[in-house]
Structure 1
Amino acid sequence: MIKLPQGWEWKSLGEICEVIMGQSPSGNCIFNKDKNKDLIEFHQGKIAFSDKYIKKSDFVTSDIRKIAKKNSVVLCVRAPVGEVNIASEDIAIGRGLCSLNGVKINNEFLFFYLLTLKKYFNDNSTGSTFKAINVKTIKETKIPLPPLQEQERIVGILDESFAKIDESIKILEQDLLNLDELMQGALQKAFNPLKDNAKENYKLPQGWEWKSLGEICEVIMGQSPSGNCIFNKDKNKDLIEFHQGKIAFSDKYIKKSDFVTSDIRKIAKKNSVVLCVRAPVGEVNIASEDIAIGRGLCSLNGVKINNEFLFFYLLTLKKYFNDNSTGSTFKAINVKTIKETKIPLPPLQEQEQIASHLDELSSHVKNLKQNYQMQIKNLQELKKSLLDKAFQGRL
């Protein structure tokens, strides 16, 4: 344990809090589901932890067994273990939740300290089916406790600081959404230059024509390898998994696969477009090298089309592919659907110009998004730094 400032002391939660473990209701418990979209589920202990305060539960029940009082701290003791909140009203809690009501501690001070203990609670949880923390672990958890006036001073600083940080994060998250909308708008303009959204009246510019993918592409559906397929896993962290068709779609280009195999059945050629035909249906990429593709992937290599132009157009078709996928266990699109998919095709020179423009914009958007995401990460780290200082008496 760290050395505490003068006047501080280590206390266990059992010493300074009323600890109430949640409990499932009996069978005659009735919820007013029509009035309550943010219903708290007793049996699983689920609750919205997206904000500091729980949304209004507005429940109706004939058998409330365990209550978290208004302003008490609510801790998630089952998956997701360690999430923490403050009750904005009296709420019924199920067996996945625990209420901590301070007797000798400011509840907001307790809330902020528990934010630092998520890893601790996860490390000290047990269970095979799902992880959970028990009442003994909770009650024995130690907290560095200053005098009440100092607790209130620290809470005031953290409240104000977190509010400003959260506002900055909110602005950055909106900036990220704006970038997505910018890219979507550019794609829409590129492939619908006449801005005619009425399908029955949709007209292409002069020189453009509708073509099916089967007419202008070599379409190769992936296939699983035989049992003697060998992968060089030591050299390849970004291994493509044949059987599930998983692939890294986080970037425009697939990372180097670096595979070694004695039985490569289906290949997506370098610079061909790779389409995910099973969950997640409609994701699209470009192969940065020859790669083996499993049954969850499809290769589209343009014969009469620029592959980059094809890549950008397919980015607009994710909903279409999902709407046209079939299957009960998981959704998938078949080769017939792919080959019959239509694309508005300008002359090759114009395809290249459009692809070049979108590529430049995509690169610019990507750089900005990385910048915003880094700023968000830094702000979240600032929160952690403030919490560390607060509970070491350095705030």
Structure 2
Amino acid sequence: MMNKIPKGWEVKKLGEIFNIVTGKTPSKKIREYFNGNIPFVKPSDLDLSDYIENSEDTLTQDGFKKAPFIPKNSVLVSCIGNLGKKAILKQNGSCNQQINAILPNSNFDMKFVFYYIDIIKPWMKQSASATTISILNKSRFEQMPFIYPNLVEQKAIADKLDDSFAKIENAITNLINAKENLKLYKQSVLKSAFNGDLLPNTSPTHWEVKKLGEICEITMGQSPKGENVFENSQSLNGLEFHQGKICFTDKFISKSKFITSDIRKIAEVGSILLCVRAPVGVINLTERKIAIGRGLCALKANNQNNNFLYYYLLGLKQYFESKATGSTFSAITLNIVKNCEIPLPPLSEQNLIVAEIDRRFAIVDKTLNLIDKSIQNAKNLKQSILKKAFSGELRSEI
């Protein structure tokens, strides 16, 4: 929130200016209340765009009679859980009890109010009840300080923000599209590599087709019995030693755990880890010796370039998914992994291909990092423009 009120602006409590309505959910036991054509907004519908015309859940006319009436152009604000998510309602509707609605007032520009919520979020968080889930009730919400200029300036500020943010969002969209194109390029590099088209001096005519079981040591993971063999870690991401003990992981997304007793299912440094249970086909490379659970298997090539195998497996996620079975969760067997075929050039060509993939991927990854920084800079720019707008600094530009 701004520290100083711009000259000529006023400050009042939100409830002194606007009618505030807290949402309510009609009885879900009565099916006839739902799946109509009237928007019924939840926090998950907010922040997807500036305006809400359609919502995930809807009410029938009977259901609408049991919920608060929220007129179009109201600003909806989440006040339970993730505070400050917002949107403007494009047609008459209603919302659930996690949302407070700021009803339209002809003396105020509601798009200005919409943008103001971003500035006041720190106040909302500080004013929320200190419970497990943050709650800003209606009476406290109505105490929110609302700082505003005259209606003409409100409209001018809202229009300026609309224009600036549209340009920034367009730039962000272009950057995201560039990221996706670079990811597609990496896939095309891998496809060319294993078709023999990546380098002019390599030819697949003399490549052999081998099964993974013929060229790799394959270790299926096994989870130790009993919780007492584990010691939990806060943030080590499954790939580190802990006081001389061996790190354990069952899936890449799991919390790090460390074995405090002996276990034989060990993946050595540089092993390729393959998820054999949902999510099937995800792979990673180990940087440290690691114990693996039954959700993973470890592969390490014999007398081959292990990174050549790694890059090949990167493109096989869909293949492994197609081979997976299981009703509770999908999984693949050791035999499926062993019998998976790989086109295998001589080791000298493997080395050349891996070096070229590394070179191209390094350029792509560097570019992806620059794009990520640019996206973050664009988001920071939006916050900077917001602060200027509500401190009166945009007056010279509007």
Q: TM-score range by the shorter chain?
A: 0.7 to 0.9
Matched, 1:183 2:186: yes
Where 2:103 maps in the other structure, the secondary structure is strand
- Cα deviation, residue 246, structure 1: 2.9
Partner of 2:7: 6
Q: What aligned pairs does 1:227-306 form with structure 2 within 5 A after superposition?
A: 229=229, 233=233, 237-240=236-239, 242=248, 244-246=250-252, 261-306=260-305
Where 1:108 maps in the other structure, the secondary structure is helix
Partner of 1:201: none
Paired with 2:328 and 2:80, the residues of 1 have a C-alpha distance of: 28
Cα deviation code 1:66-101 (max 9, x no counterpart): 333222212223454321111222233233333212
Give the letter aligned to residue 378 of structure 2: L
Q: Which moved more, 1:324-333 or 1:210-219?
A: 324-333
Partner of 1:52: 50
Partner of 2:74: 72
Distance 1:209 1:67, change over 3 A: farther
Tell me how many residue pairs correspond in the alignment. 372
Q: What aligned pairs does 1:301-380 form with structure 2 within 5 A after superposition?
A: 301-380=300-379
Cα deviation code 1:227-266 (max 9, x no counterpart): 55465958x7334473643359xxxxxxxx9978553532
Distance 1:237 1:9, change over 3 A: farther
Distance 1:125 1:3, change over 3 A: closer
Give the letter aligned to residue 149 of structure 2: P
Partner of 2:177: 174
Give the letter aligned to residue 322 of structure 2: D
Q: Which moved more, 1:134-143 or 1:305-314?
A: 134-143
Partner of 2:140: 137
Partner of 2:112: 109
Matched, 1:31 2:38: no
Where 1:343 maps in the other structure, the secondary structure is strand
- Cα deviation, residue 216, structure 1: 1.4
The structure 1 segments of at least 4 consecutive aligned residues displaced by more than 6 Å after TM superposition are 257-260
Paired with 1:382 and 1:14, the residues of 2 have a C-alpha distance of: 31
Cα deviation code 1:88-126 (max 9, x no counterpart): 222332333332124243211111111234455455555
Partner of 1:165: 168
Distance 1:135 1:48, change over 3 A: closer
Distance 1:187 1:48, change over 3 A: farther
Give the letter aligned to residue 138 of structure 1: F
Distance 1:328 1:136, change over 3 A: farther
- Structure 2 unmatched runs, 5+: 240-246
- Structure 1 unmatched runs, 5+: 196-203, 249-256
Where 1:140 maps in the other structure, the secondary structure is coil
Distance 1:45 1:325, change over 3 A: same
Paired with 1:207 and 1:22, the residues of 2 have a C-alpha distance of: 70
Give the letter aligned to residue 23 of structure 2: G
Q: Does the 8 A contact of 1:40 with 1:47 survive in 2?
A: no
Partner of 1:15: 16
Cα deviation code 1:171-219 (max 9, x no counterpart): 1111011101111111122223489xxxxxxxx9312233222221111
Q: Does the 8 A contact of 2:248 with 2:290 survive in 1?
A: no
Greater strand share, 1 or 2?
2
Give the letter aligned to residue 313 of structure 2: L
Distance 1:19 1:273, change over 3 A: same
Q: Does the 8 A contact of 1:74 with 1:98 survive in 2?
A: yes
Give the letter aligned to residue 177 of structure 1: E
**TM-score after normalising by structure 2:** 0.81
Distance 1:157 1:270, change over 3 A: same
Where 2:87 maps in the other structure, the secondary structure is strand
- Cα deviation, residue 356, structure 1: 1.5
Paired with 2:210 and 2:70, the residues of 1 have a C-alpha distance of: 62
Q: Does the 8 A contact of 1:231 with 1:260 survive in 2?
A: yes
Q: Does the 8 A contact of 2:249 with 2:257 survive in 1?
A: no
Q: How much is the aligned-residue C-alpha RMSD, in angstroms? A: 3.2
Distance 1:247 1:31, change over 3 A: closer
Q: Does the 8 A contact of 2:157 with 2:389 survive in 1?
A: yes
Give the letter aligned to residue 29 of structure 1: Y
Q: Which moved more, 1:104-113 or 1:322-331?
A: 322-331
Paired with 1:119 and 1:331, the residues of 2 have a C-alpha distance of: 44
Q: Does the 8 A contact of 2:39 with 2:54 survive in 1?
A: no
Q: Does the 8 A contact of 1:41 with 1:47 survive in 2?
A: no
- Cα deviation, residue 130, structure 1: 5.3
Distance 1:364 1:50, change over 3 A: same
Where 1:24 maps in the other structure, the secondary structure is coil
Q: Does the 8 A contact of 1:242 with 1:296 survive in 2?
A: no
Give the letter aligned to residue 68 of structure 1: I
- Cα deviation, residue 15, structure 1: 1.5
- Cα deviation, residue 352, structure 1: 1.9
- Cα deviation, residue 306, structure 1: 1.8
Q: In percent, how many aligned pairs have the same letter?
A: 38
Q: Does the 8 A contact of 1:223 with 1:242 survive in 2?
A: no
Where 1:238 maps in the other structure, the secondary structure is coil
Q: Does the 8 A contact of 2:40 with 2:94 survive in 1?
A: no
1:91 alignment partner, one of 90, 93, 118: 93
**TM-score after normalising by structure 1:** 0.82
Give the letter aligned to residue 8 of structure 1: W
